[in-house]
Structures are given as structure tokens and as C-alpha cells.
Amino acid sequence: PPLNSLLNLDEIEAAAKTQISKKCWAYYFSAADDLISKSYNNTVYRNMLLRPRVFVDVSLADTTTTLLGQYKVGTPLYVSPAAMARLAHPDGEAGIARGISRFGAMQIVSHNASMTPEQIVAEAKPGQIFGWQLYVQQDRTKSEAMLARIAKLNDKYKCIVLTLDAPVPSKREHDEKAALETQLLIEASRSEDEQKKAGKRPDSNSGVGQQLFFGTAADLTWSTTLPWLVKHTDLPIVLKGIQTHEDVYLAAQYARKHPGSIKAVILSNHGGRSLDTAPPAVHTLLEVRKYCPEVFDMIEIWVDGGIRRGTDVVKALCLGAKAVGVGRAALWGLGAGGWKGVDRAFEILQGEIQTCMRMIGAKDIAELGPRFINSRMVERD
């Protein structure tokens, strides 16, 4: 279907499904175990009600904001790091960059991207900003080499996003099944002779996601990993996959003691792909509001997971998020129509954000606050 006939992110996902391989669909769609966190990530927004104010001049709905304390962006909406965009479309991660460019959105590039960090930013617009996501490798020299490479691109890459919520691979059954099916198909389509010639076959039927974990370290700590990282990058650090107020507090304390280190945390359960029944970002935001609200002035709190509508984004912003990420939405856009599909997905979301801001009576991002959310929701823990 033509992209402009797709009216919401669900329709973009459905269109992508008809364009991409079964294996790619399984990899993007899948989440851990029973997909409880994945679905709750979105339900939590659906169950939260807004409190619109009227008689407010909302002719402007200005979505510009500042990230990392200094970079002006056109929207608080950003692209979360997600591996292997080229599975969906040859435009890949560079296509995501092109697709979001007219919205002035930030893009965080995955450690397991399917293009090089240089290729991805090669045609970025002036002022377009990126982050680079790190999975620390068991062989630290490999990570150090990548950090040095990103440092050379520091006119584009403005932060290092260290992902912490996936110390080991999770169980993603859609993925495992799809990989197994693909392997069986390949085998079935080869003659016996060819199979012999092909020699070593993949010895595992685990999904693409699990294979990417090869070499990732499981021994990261506050006291060893952060000093190492600070030593090897001059860029601000963003900790991704924080899921409790205790850990947000620790990050804020670290930031206070070590100026120029941690600038933001991302409340995230990895789109439900890591630990099933882990909390959605909204729950952690509410915990932070209750137990350590002072941290909002110490570090930026970004969130991701489950975003399907502009109202979801606005609700997260009202509860104190500084930026809101989408993982699958960008990938589905790419699958539905390459860079133009990403552009369409962002056009839809950005339009919905502005409509929501106007409907609740908010002129700009700074005005968004808990007064726009049903108070019973804000007070619960």
C-alpha cells in the first residue's frame, strides 16, 4: 500500500510484515518468554488518562527541546538503538538517519548495526545528532578501539549509550523458531552433495539475537566499568536499561561526584526483549517521582518501550521524561518502505504528539507536567 495510506504505527507494522522476511519479522517482533513486558510497555500508557485544559491558545505546539544539556533537537522523540536494520531494507541505519532528518530527531546507533558508524552518518544533515550504543566486549581492547573510532566522528556522535539490561541472552522463542525454520529451508533446498561441500553448518538453532551476544561481557559493575569507560571516551555517558529508582539514584550520585561522566539514564526494559515481567519505564518513572525526585535536576531521564501513539509520548514527557525513544516503530517504517517508511512513521508520531499537546492545552514541551495526567496514576507507586 502507498505509505501515505498508512495512518498509524500498527498499520505500518502490518505493512512491514508483508515486505520483510519471516526471519526478520521474528527478530524485530520477538521479546522474552511470554512477551508480558513487551505488551505491558504499551498497555501502561493506554490505561493512563489525560487531563486536558481548555481556553488556552494552542496555535503553536512547539516540540523543540534540548538534550544532554546542550543540543537543540526538533522533537523529544528519538530512535532507540536496534540491531541490524538492513535485515528489513537495504537503506539500513543510514535510511533511518535520512528518514528522521526533517524532524530534527536524535538517533542512537546500535553496537550491532548492519552498517559502519561512518556510513550511517555520512549523509546526515548539519546539526543532526547521533549516539552510539556500546555492549562492552569481554575483550576490552575491542571496545576501546570502537570508542576511539567514534571519538573521530564526534561532530555527529554526541554520547555513548551503555546498555546494561542484557548481561546475558534472553529466551526469544519466535526468534529461535524462525532461525530453525530458515535453517531447515536452506537444508531442504540443497542437494546432499551441496550440503557436504558447504562443510561446517551453523551449529546452533538459536535466533539471530542470541548469536549477536558472542563476546559480550557479563561482569560489568559501577565501580569497575564506569571508570574504565570515562577513561576511554570524552563523550557524555548515557546508561540504558535502568529499571529501579535505586539505580537511577546511584547514577545521579555518580554524575554528581564525577562531573562530565553520566549525563542521562534511559529507563527501559529493552522493549521486553531481555527479562520478561520487568517493569515498563513508566513504573520506574513513577518510582523516581516518589522516592528520589531530586534526580530530575541531576541527570536527564529518557525512556523507551511500547510507544505506538503520540499520546504515549506526551504522557511520558508529563511524568518527567526528557526524551522518548522508539525501537520497533523505526524498524517497521524501514521495512514498510525504506527511508520513506521511517519518514512516514515519524510524520505520524510527530503529528500525533502535536495534536495531543494542543488538545491538552500545552504550547511547548516545557509546559508538560504531571498536572496533565490523572492524579491517581501519578500518586501510585
| 281 lines the binding site for ligand FNR (CB under 6 A) | no
Query: Which region, judged by CB under 6 A, interacts with ligand FNR, from 15-23, 115-123, 185-193, 268-276?
Result: 268-276
Cβ nearer to ligand FNR, comparing 236 with 362: 236
Least Å from the CB of residue 162 to ligand FNR: 9
Catalytic-labelled residue, pool 270, 276, 283, 343: 270
Distances (CA, A) of 306 to 10, 39, 41, 168, 245: 12, 7, 5, 22, 20
By CB under 6 A, what part of segment 194-233 binds ligand FNR?
none
The rounded distance, in Å, linking the Cα atoms of 300 and 321 is 8
Instruction: Tell me the three state secondary structure of residue 237.
Output: strand
| 268 lines the binding site for ligand FNR (CB under 6 A) | yes
Q: Which of 110, 128, 143, 311 binds ligand FNR (CB under 6 A)?
A: 110
Q: Which residues pair with 364 in a beta bridge?
A: 62
| 276 lines the binding site for ligand FNR (CB under 6 A) | no
Q: What is the CA radius of gyration of the chain?
A: 21
By CB under 6 A, what part of segment 133-152 binds ligand FNR?
133
144 grid coordinates: 576501546
| 80 lines the binding site for ligand FNR (CB under 6 A) | yes
How many chain residues are in contact with ligand FNR, going by CB under 6 A? 26
As a whole number of angstroms, the longest Cα–Cα distance in the chain is 77
The rounded distance, in Å, linking the Cα atoms of 262 and 164 is 14
Is-catalytic flag, 57?
Answer: no
Query: If we measure between CA atoms, which residue out of 231, 232, 236 comes closest to residue 71?
Result: 236
Q: Which of 12, 40, 41, 73 binds ligand FNR (CB under 6 A)?
A: 41
Query: Which region, judged by CB under 6 A, interacts with ligand FNR, from 123-131, 183-191, 226-234, 328-336?
Result: 328-336
The rounded distance, in Å, linking the Cα atoms of 105 and 130 is 9
Burial of 119 (0-12, 13-18, 19+ CB in 10 A): middle
> Whose CB is nearest to ligand FNR?
327
Q: Which of 81, 95, 320, 335 binds ligand FNR (CB under 6 A)?
A: 81
The rounded distance, in Å, linking the Cα atoms of 198 and 203 is 13
Least Å from the CB of residue 79 to ligand FNR: 9
| 107 lines the binding site for ligand FNR (CB under 6 A) | no
The owner of cell 535453517 is 183
The rounded distance, in Å, linking the Cα atoms of 94 and 22 is 23
Cβ nearer to ligand FNR, comparing 25 with 362: 25
Least Å from the CB of residue 329 to ligand FNR: 6
Query: If we measure between CA atoms, which residue out of 101, 54, 108 comes closest to residue 340?
Result: 101
By CB under 6 A, what part of segment 288-317 binds ligand FNR?
304-307
Q: Which of 89, 174, 270, 283 binds ligand FNR (CB under 6 A)?
A: 270
What is the sign of the dihedral through the CA atoms of 212, 217, 221 and 225? Answer: negative
Cβ nearer to ligand FNR, comparing 82 with 129: 82
DSSP labels for 113-168?
-SS-HHHHHTTPPTT--EEEEE--BSSHHHHHHHHHHHHTTTTTEEEEEEE-S-SS
Is-catalytic flag, 297?
Answer: no
Least Å from the CB of residue 225 to ligand FNR: 15
| 103 lines the binding site for ligand FNR (CB under 6 A) | no
Is-catalytic flag, 249?
Answer: no
Exposure on the CB side of residue 122, measured as CA atoms within 13 A:
11
Query: Which region, judged by CB under 6 A, interacts with ligand FNR, from 10-18, 52-60, 282-290, 322-330?
Result: 322-330
By CB under 6 A, what part of segment 162-191 binds ligand FNR?
163
The residues that are catalytic are 135, 165, 270
Residues near ligand FNR, by CB under 6 A? 27-28, 41, 80-83, 110-112, 133, 163, 240, 268, 270-271, 273, 304-307, 326-329, 331
